[in-house]
Amino acid sequence: MRAATKRRLRFFISVLAIIATGGALLGSVLGRAPLVGALVSAIDAVLVLGTVAAAEIFLPQTRLGRVLEGAPFLFTFVVKWLAYYALVVIEIGGRLGRHLVTAVLIGGDPRLVVAHQPPRVPLRAAMMILALFVPACILLIQLSRLIGERTLRDIMLGRYHRPRAEERFFLFVDLAGSTPLAERIGPAAVHRFLGRVFHVASEPIDDYRGEIYQYVGDEIVITWTASEGRRGARPLACFFEIEQALTRAAPDSTATSAWPPGCARRSTRGRSSPGRWERAGARSSSTGT
């Protein structure tokens, strides 16, 4: 199992635990019977938000996920909202959590109707709250993918409101022979070729916790903080893994006969001073030495 997959799995388990705990606490406060309310709410939260979390964490690595991510932003947003809200209607509207608690935990005894007591928050109100909460989460996730999770986090925490110096490693990965290739196959085909290359390269970058700083033509600039880059010489290990990933992807590539492409690297470590004005675009820039 790849390092990035293991990390996503650990992250999903952590998110699932937080969802279940939050649902249980909310249900114990809002339910008529605290214990049953906690169980019902925890099950509801795991079924709805756990499914959404699984889709957002694991779906982008699948073929369907890549199609959605490559679609227009508004289309992806609407499709996800409709799918997730349909899940809310089926799960919350069908009272699956209450039926599970009644059937499994108290044996479906009709005399034990505590699980069927209405919660203090009406069902319609709960669904309206989720109808607003779900698209807000989708929008936040889509923004994080457009500008990068770390960049969004730093913007929200105000880290770049003032310029600050930070030590970083930079890895520059260039494709060899891309200019003759573009002249031979044309601009449209070479863009598809580069898109394939960048997609294949993104997996090793994710494995080694790199941050894609920017794309410059046929060049990828990858960066790590000094502390992250030192661990296992990540910039160098990442470059060699990118080369291997491109070689492994050769049988699946239908871009051109030039696969796998040759790569050249340059790496450096220096001090950068990013500020708020430099973080306005989808790909940030900074000054460094």
Give the predicted TM-score (pTM) of the model. 0.64
State the greatest distance between any 2 C-alpha atoms of the chain, in Å, as a whole number: 79
Strand duo 219-225 + 262-272: pairing: unpaired
Where residue 95 falls (left for φ over 0; alpha for ψ -120 to 50; beta otherwise) is left
Q: 238: number of CA atoms within 13 Å, CB side?
A: 33
Q: Rg for the chain (alpha carbons), in Å? A: 24
183-191 long-range Cβ contacts below 8 angstroms, 24+ apart:
185/256, 189/255, 189/256
Which strand (E) or helix (H) includes residue 270?
strand 262-272
The pLDDT value recorded for residue 277 is 37
CB 134 within 8 A of CB 84: yes
Q: Is the dihedral of CA 184, 185, 188, 190 positive or negative?
A: negative
pLDDT mean for each 10 residues of the chain (289 residues): 79 90 82 75 86 87 80 86 85 75 62 49 66 78 74 74 78 81 80 83 86 84 88 89 82 51 62 47 38
The domain limits of the chain are 3-147, 166-272
CATH number of the structural domain 166-272: 3.30.70.1230
**pLDDT at residue number 21:** 92
